[in-house]
Each structure stands twice: as C-alpha cells, then as structure tokens.
Amino acid sequence: MATKAFRYQPLEYDDSIRLLHLEPSLERDADLRGALHHATLSNCDYDLVEPYTALSYVWGNPAQKGVIHLGGRAVEITTNLDTALRDMREKDRLHRIWADALCIDQSNIPERNQQVSLMGRIYSTAHHTVIHLGNSTADVGRLFGSLQSQTRTTIQGKMAAGQIQSPTDVINLEIVREDLLARPWFRRVWVFQELVLSRDAWVQCGHSRTRWHHFCDALGVENVTKAMLLGALSVSNKSLSVTPRSGLLENMNMRRYDAFEAPLYSLLSCRRGIGATDARNIVFGHLGVVSDREKCDEFIKVDYGKDLRQVYIEAAWYFLNCSGLEELLYHAMDPSPVDCNPDIPSWCPRWSNPQTVWEPMYRKRRRFGGGDDTSYIVFKGCHQVLLSDPPLLAISGFQVAKIETTSVAFPTRIDEQGLTLARQILRGIDAEQLAPDDYGRALRAIPMSTDRDRQTQEAFAASFVAWSRQAMENNFKAGPEDVERVGEALLRYSQKPGDSPLGGKRLAITSAEDCVVVPPETKQGDVVVVLAHCYKHVIVRFKEAKWFDHLDGSVREALEHANKETCANGPICAFIRPAADDDGDDYDEGGHPGTQSKVFALH
C-alpha cells in the first residue's frame, strides 16, 4: 500500500480511474518503475490501441513490503503485489495495469467508496484480467505449458469439450490441483465479482499463464467452484448454468449481458467465511455482480466511513426483507452470538465466520408440544420493526417453554475407545429393548473432560431417565417414539461424533415436557419462543428489564406506525388454526395455546 510520501492527484470525473504504466525490464530482479496516469472508463472502453489489464490477486501480509518507483518516488507495496508486477512486467514494452492497492488512494475514504462502486466496470472494461496465484512450480509450469501448446480451438477460441489433455504422464495432476486450489486467492471475497465481469481471464503463476477456461477444464470445474465457496450457489440456483456443459464459472462474463442471476442473499449464504482483509468487503465485494442491486441499494450503501457493526446491520435488514426471519436467525446463530463481538447485535449474521452444518433431530415431528408452526400459527399485519439507536429488532411472538436442564455440550472429537461402552448399551435400540435406565447409563458413559462436566452430565442423566419414563408411559405430550429418537441420536453420536446432530450441541428438557437439541450456549432458564413468520423455535436469553424500560414506548410506537402504513385492514393479531383443520381456511383468533403474545426486542 502506498506510503504517505506519495501524494495522489485527485480524480476528476465520475468514471475516472488511475492506471499503472509499468516500465519494461530484461531483468526480473530490477527495480519496479512506472507512473500512475489518469483515465476514464468511457475512454478505455473504446481504446483499441492501448487497452489495460486488470490484476486480481491477494494483498497478503501488509508487514511484508516491496517497493515500486513512481515518478521518481519510492512507494511501498505488499510483497504479493511486488511479485505479481514482476511476473507481469514485459521485457520490451510498457504494460498498462490496474491494481487496486496502487490505483486507489486507500487513505481517501470518499475516493475509496467511489472506486469500489466502479469495480465492476473496471474489470468489465479491461481487455484482460490476470489472476495471479503466486509463484510457479516445475509441475505447474509443465501443466500450463501443455495447455498452451494445445492449439485446437473452437471458433470462439475456446478448447472444445474433451480436448484438454493434461500431461499426466509427466506430472501428478492431483498434487498440482491440491497445490493450486489451496492458494489463498480462491478464498478471497472479491474474486467472484472480478471473474464474473472479466472479458478475458488468465491464470498466472510466476511467468507461466493459461486461459481461465483451460485452467478450469484441466483441474475440473466442480473442484474450482468448490474451492471458491460457490458449490452451493451453482447447485441451488439453476439460472447459473446456461448450458449443460457451461456452468457457473465457465459463463462468468454472461453477467455483462444480464444472463447471470445471483442475488446478494444467495452469495452471502454460500460464501460466508470467505477471506477478506476488511470484513466489510464480504458485503461490499459482491454488490457489483448481484442480480438484485436495486433491492440492495435500498438497505446497503458502500461507505468505508461506516464501521463493521453498521454494515452488518444494514446487510441483516436487507437479508430479513429478502429471505425472511427464519433464514436470518439461522445464519445469526452460526457461530453463536454469545461468543462474538458484543458490539454487533445478536440477530446479525457474522458473515466473516464460516458456517457449520446444523441438522435438526426432529424433522417432521412435533416440537415443544405445539406441532409444526407452519400448520397452525398465522400472523396478520406487520410484526417486526427495526430501531436504530440502539439497534433493536422488535418482533411479535409467543413464549412456549423454558429450559429446565441441559446436558453438557457433546464434544465433536472424542477418543473412540471412550465411546465403546455407550455404543454397546445403545445397540439394543433397534430391538426396542432399552429401558429408561439404559439411556441414563449411556449418557453417563460418554467421556467427560472435567469434573464439572461429569457433574452436569450426571444431573442431566437423572432428569432424562425421569422424563423418558413418563414419556414411555404416555404421561407427557412426548411419547415412546420421541425417546427412541433421542436414543437414535445418541447411538449415531457414539458411532460418529462429528456427523451426529448432537455433535457440538446439548440436549435439553423443557417445561413443555420435551427433550430437544439446543445450541451449546443454552443455559437453564433460557426461553423458547415462536416469532412472527419464523417457523422454527428460537432460544432467547432475557436481559435485565431496566435496560429496555425506556425503549418500550419507542417499540410500541414503531409497530403502530408500521401497521398504519402497511395494514389497512385492522390491527395486528395472531391466528391459531384448530388441530382438526386441514384446509387452512378457518381460524380462531387468539395466541399460542395457553400463552399471550408479546413483543421481543432482540439486541
């Protein structure tokens, strides 16, 4: 990144950019020299004589420095950029390059905002994009050289399907694939936008380079897609595949002609945890390519003057309006907000954290004694509002149960021998021979690392035995089949802890006489709620009432105003569908059985 000694000249026009004119050199180790020149994207788009190349790379460790001389002044750059420029430098001619760290004044926040908003046009206007993956190896050089030598192409200049022949006789393709796809570039947030909008992308390692589509054919499109955290997107969004052969990455430039469709909420969902030096870019870095940009602009504005908290709040409000409360909270709970930055509201997903797989223990079973919410609760009117200071998401809902006792959080990594006894006890579950005491023995047999965990598990095992006795005698709403389901989950855990729905979670017994799987942070006294338009139960922890007392009037006023604006047919209310009603046409007005509707202020 440029030092303070170098002064950038202000950009003059709305579509102005800077281009690095990199001077040639016969020696790779010679000093990097060049100059920054102003240009406009509108002029570059029609320039057939002196096009520019956009560079796509990973910034790398800012503490590791290289130097480029610009107009006679030494300017510090990262080692990664230094390496990329040396590899791209021509021996006998000037090379016009756009590289974000140099061509944008990173210390100028207004300019940074404006240039990031132009990023899509910058890559789509460049005649070529070079994806610099770092240094080459002997095998990578041989692979790229082999791909270049295969000159049989279609009329569009693309190798026909099946024509790519990797030189497997002289290299181990699997080793090369693992090496290349493990490089940091594939886990970088900006690469998707840079790829989708590039006219002609090339992959470069050292001085070796090959076309992007040849690279994908050689390493396998599915492997490349997975490395970029795009696998779920290409599977879930059928519009990403234009032809059976030409999928998401092969048709990346079709977005320029509105043939590519991917809303922001889909990209955030499948690419969470992607690498970004600045976590705000996990949101900003996708805006140039999304299909719902107008919707995004209603909630999100690229502004590096905002802190991460504000960007995540805006993204969460967008996500709520597009995907609904259930999807929002699903992502917000992973990882648990209990252990995350307290400045970010608990209902905001932390997109910089990778996602773990949640598998519900009960898929189509009654939960918390109330049935599947989609079948019997309907909310009418506006039931959710956002307050900005402090940021609160206020939602109508019902309290349905309290957590009475929990197990320990089942470890995902555990000594196989330590689970032998539990596995032996639970093998009789298929023959329906297990008694409540057997389940208690199995719970106690799971190895615990501390005395405190052993005490917690002992107390829960006793409660579980008592609960299972009552359930097996049909004294609870839960029945024998519910006990068996817990047993099946325990058996699966004893066989493969990491693949079990219990791995990393807790079991809990609730005041609604159910035994359920809950997040590991759940404590005794936490409350299970049903929220408007969220058809999965949510566990909340109440804050001291005095913290919210002064906000009560603001929340009520905001809800009343929202309903006057959006619900002309009357006040908000909730409807309960009678248990015998199958067609959904008749409703009884009221609340959750035995409860009263409330407004929950999530903070």
Residue range 243-272, pLDDT digits in tens: 333 455 555 544 444 445 789 998 888 888
Write down the pLDDT at residue 167: 59
Phi/psi at 576 (nearest 5 deg)?
A: -110, 125
Q: Does 509 have pLDDT greater than 60? A: yes
Percentage of the chain lying above the pLDDT 70 cut: 74
Going 438 to 442 to 443 to 448, the CA torsion angle's sign is positive
Q: What is the mean pLDDT of residues 48-53?
A: 89
pTM for this entry: 0.75
Mean residue pLDDT of the chain comes to 78
Cis peptide before 593 (omega within 30 of 0): no
Residue, of 477 and 257, whose pLDDT is higher: 477
Rounded to an integer, what distance in angstroms lies between the CA atom of residue 340 and that of residue 442? 33
Residue 47 tokens, joined: 């320039």
Q: What is the mean pLDDT of residues 357-371?
A: 42
Residue ranges of E strands in 482-593: 506-510, 515-518, 527-531, 538-540, 573-576, 588-589
Please report, to the nearest 10 degrees, the dihedral formed by the alpha carbons of residues 564, 311, 238, 242 taken in order: 120
Write down the pLDDT at residue 387: 74
Write down the pLDDT at residue 172: 83
Of 43-47, 99-103, 295-299, 413-417, the one with minimum mean pLDDT is: 413-417
Residue, of 169 and 3, whose pLDDT is higher: 169
Rounded to an integer, what distance in angstroms lies between the CA atom of residue 419 and that of residue 543? 39
Q: Does 421 have pLDDT greater than 70? A: yes
DSSP strand pairing (128-134 vs 201-205): parallel
DSSP strand pairing (391-406 vs 527-531): antiparallel
Write down the pLDDT at residue 533: 73
Mapped onto helix, strand or coil, the DSSP state of residue 402 is: strand
Who's near 56: CB < 8 A, 6+ residues apart? 123, 129, 130, 131, 132, 185, 190, 191, 194, 195, 198, 201
Write down the pLDDT at residue 589: 35
**Contact assessment for residue 181 and residue 224, using Cβ atoms and an 8 Å cutoff:** yes
pLDDT digits (tens, 9 = 90+) for 113-131: 999 989 989 999 999 999 9
Q: Does 208 have pLDDT greater than 50? A: yes
**Contact assessment for residue 379 and residue 574, using Cβ atoms and an 8 Å cutoff:** yes
Continuous segment of H or E residues that includes residue 236: helix 231-236
Write down the pLDDT at residue 513: 85
Write down the pLDDT at residue 8: 92
Residue ranges of E strands in 359-390: 377-380, 384-388
Rounded to an integer, what distance in angstroms lies between the CA atom of residue 381 and that of residue 261? 31
Write down the pLDDT at residue 206: 95
Q: What is the mean pLDDT of residues 278-303?
A: 90
Strands of 377-380's sheet in order across: 377-380, 573-576, 588-589
Write down the pLDDT at residue 11: 95
Q: Does 410 have pLDDT greater than 60? A: yes
Determine whether 31 is exposed, middle or buried from the number of CB atoms within 10 Å of its CB (0-12, 13-18, 19+).
exposed
Write down the pLDDT at residue 591: 40
**Contact assessment for residue 110 and residue 32, using Cβ atoms and an 8 Å cutoff:** no
pLDDT band, residue 479 (cuts 50/70/90)? confident
Question: To the nearest 5 percent, what fractions of the chain are helix, strand and coil?
Answer: 40, 20, 45
Q: Does 596 have pLDDT greater than 80? A: no
Helix 173-181 vs helix 212-219: angle between axes, to the nearest 10 degrees?
120
Helix-then-strand count for the chain, H and E: 21, 19
pLDDT band, residue 512 (cuts 50/70/90)? confident
Of 179-188, 236-245, 299-308, the one with minimum mean pLDDT is: 236-245
**Contact assessment for residue 159 and residue 153, using Cβ atoms and an 8 Å cutoff:** yes
pLDDT band, residue 398 (cuts 50/70/90)? confident
Write down the pLDDT at residue 553: 67
pLDDT digits (tens, 9 = 90+) for 527-564: 888 887 777 788 888 876 555 566 666 666 766 666 65
Write down the pLDDT at residue 582: 36
Write down the pLDDT at residue 374: 44
